[in-house]
Chain A
Amino acid sequence: KQEVTQIPAALSVPEGENLVLNCSFTDSAIYNLQWFRQDPGKGLTSLLLIQSSQREQTSGRLNASLDKSSGRSTLYIAASQPGDSATYLCAVRDNYGQNFVFGPGTRLSVLP
């Protein structure tokens, strides 16, 4: 059974810092991995999707990498801004079904 963990659980940084969020999964037979952000009381916004054959994806200040063999993905946020404050979730879709398994999330606070 796939299990997804995220480290750290919470992170507080001053504005402008570069930061890295980590996601680990136990079963490397994944179809893809997707990073989301969730604002309090809101739904999920897709940030980046990495297919199993890819190593990384970039969108603006965000860069996500995938090392399938080691069961890890990182989300790199450059030049963080207060508007980046949210909970960041990674989710893994395995090869056996269509559903995603979510990590517990990292709660990010960027202080002005």
Chain B
Amino acid sequence: GAVVSQHPSWVICKSGTSVKIECRSLDFQATTMFWYRQFPKQSLMLMATSNEGSKATYEQGVEKDKFLINHASLTLSTLTVTSAHPEDSSFYICSATNPETPAGEQFFGPGTRLTVL
């Protein structure tokens, strides 16, 4: 299988605080992970591509200083939302490609719902 987990599944924080979300590939090594954001009733929007051992690649319009991504190992990538504001409230989903499965298939985590008060 190819299982991706996320922690926490939901988080509520006060405006101005920072929140860290973890994404783990449980049974495979993922050299690349992806972070998406989904607003209510909208589709997923790619935020950044996380590469193990190197800097993340951010999509246009995504503030790299606000959304810090660290991919320190082949099974873990973290997204830190710094100085969160209510407009950052969203559903954050990570995914990873498993190099041992048909090329390019992405496996998604269950998502993390962030609510900033």
Contact = CB atoms under 8 A, between A and B. Distances in A.
Contacts of B109: 43
Contacts of A83: none
Interface string A39-58: 00111111001010000000
Interface stretch (B39-47, B61-69, B72-80, B82-90): B39-47
A95 B93 CA distance: 23
Contacts of B103: 31-32, 51
Given A43-B93, A99-B46, A100-B46, A93 B108 contact: no
Interface residues of A, number: 24
B104 A49 contact: yes
Contacts of A43: 6, 93, 108-111
B105 A49 contact: yes
A45 B110 CA distance: 9
Interface of B: 6, 32, 34, 36, 42-46, 49, 91, 93, 95, 97, 102-111, 113
30 contacts: A31-B104, A32-B103, A34-B105, A36-B108, A41-B91, A41-B111, A43-B93, A43-B109, A43-B110, A44-B44, A44-B108, A46-B105, A46-B107, A49-B102, A49-B104, A51-B102, A51-B103, A51-B104, A89-B43, A89-B44, A91-B44, A91-B106, A93-B106, A97-B49, A98-B34, A98-B97, A101-B46, A102-B45, A104-B42, A104-B43
Q: Which 6 A-B pairs rank lowest in CB-CB distance, beginning with the nearest?
A: A43-B110, A44-B108, A43-B111, A102-B43, A102-B44, A104-B43
